Amino acid sequence: MSMPKHAYALSPPTIRSLPILGSTERFPVRSIYCVGRNYADHVREMGSDPAGRPCFFMKPTHALVTDDGPVPYPPETSNFHHEVELVVALKSGGRNLAPEVVSHHVFGYAVGLDLTRRDLQNALKQKGQPWELAKSFTGSAPCSALLPATRAVPTVKPWHLRLTVNGELRQEATSAQMIWSIEQLVSELSRYDRLEAGDLLFTGTPAGVGPLEPGDQGVAELVGHACLRFTVVAAGSGSGL
Ligand code: MN
């Protein structure tokens, strides 16, 4: 079936995509979902109760930083935090997915950072306002290349997540510490929204979140499987962001 051709008034936005390990193809990203409160030790360090429900939010695709590109230090914050997270990429989706079928929809796995203006997030929380501007901005979602599930399962479990900044260990955990499993998270999210091919889910961060500064160099790893290297650059220092 041929699609009707549109004459756009502006050039359409570029499709954002992730490299795929072992392939020359790339993974096109449709939407970026994120989970808050999925590791008990991080929930406690944020002063919340781990018994609560997972909290979902989204980032725009222009938040992605791919191919180990520079991470711009954002404006309107003086407490810019790292959160290292296991990322799940979907090759198909649907509504009301049972946990048992979720693995059939997984394309692969990556390691990413849910970068956060912590000072702004705390101020917005106190006012009972949405977190949006603390979480969703250009450069707030660096992500590694994807490890295809066909190469990962069932040999990898649990996943081992680690973040170092300037050679210093900041965050380390395994996916066995997650309150909600990948299967439970995707199932729960699919009750609220129809998931589609190209969706990413950032699955929450363990304890140890902390500040980044311009000039910092970091390495986030799914240990032995995927690696994200990044440098934080001051706004306007040639990142184009
Ligand atoms: Mn997070």
Q: What is the pLDDT of residue 176?
A: 92
3 state SS of 50: coil
3 state SS of 162: strand
Is residue 102 within 8 Å of 183, Cβ to Cβ? yes
C-alpha 36 to ligand 1 mean position (Å): 5
C-alpha 241 to ligand 1 mean position (Å): 22
C-alpha 15 to ligand 1 mean position (Å): 24
CA 238/CA 241 separation, integer angstroms = 8
Q: What is the pLDDT of residue 6?
A: 81
Q: What is the pLDDT of residue 98?
A: 98
Going through 37-136 in order, the beta strands assigned E by DSSP cover: 55-59, 64-65, 71-72, 80-82, 84-90, 106-113, 116-117
C-alpha 48 to ligand 1 mean position (Å): 14
Residue 109 tokens, joined = 């796995």
C-alpha 114 to ligand 1 mean position (Å): 5
C-alpha 10 to ligand 1 mean position (Å): 34
| Distant-in-sequence, close-in-space partners of 9: CB < 8 Å, separation ≥ 6 | none
Q: Which of 120, 121, 136 is nearest to 48 (CA)?
A: 121
C-alpha 161 to ligand 1 mean position (Å): 14
C-alpha 224 to ligand 1 mean position (Å): 22
C-alpha 37 to ligand 1 mean position (Å): 8
Ranges in the chain, pLDDT < 70: 1-4, 152-156, 236-241
| Distant-in-sequence, close-in-space partners of 240: CB < 8 Å, separation ≥ 6 | none
Is residue 88 within 8 Å of 109, Cβ to Cβ? yes
Q: What is the pLDDT of residue 155?
A: 60
C-alpha 75 to ligand 1 mean position (Å): 19
Q: DSSP string spanning 82-109?
A: E-EEEEEEES--BSS--GGGGGGGEEEE
C-alpha 149 to ligand 1 mean position (Å): 22
CATH superfamily, with its number, for domain 17-233: Fumarylacetoacetase-like, C-terminal domain (3.90.850.10)
Residue 187 tokens, joined = 């199932």
Q: What is the pLDDT of residue 54?
A: 84
| Distant-in-sequence, close-in-space partners of 193: CB < 8 Å, separation ≥ 6 | 33
C-alpha 9 to ligand 1 mean position (Å): 36
Q: DSSP string spanning 163-217?
A: EEETTEEEEEEEGGGBSS-HHHHHHHHTTTS-B-TT-EEE----S--EE--TT-E
Q: What is the pLDDT of residue 238?
A: 52
Q: What is the pLDDT of residue 211?
A: 98
C-alpha 8 to ligand 1 mean position (Å): 36
C-alpha 237 to ligand 1 mean position (Å): 26
Residue 172 tokens, joined = 């380390």
C-alpha 7 to ligand 1 mean position (Å): 39
Residue 210 tokens, joined = 């902390």
pTM over 0.85: yes
Q: What is the pLDDT of residue 150?
A: 86
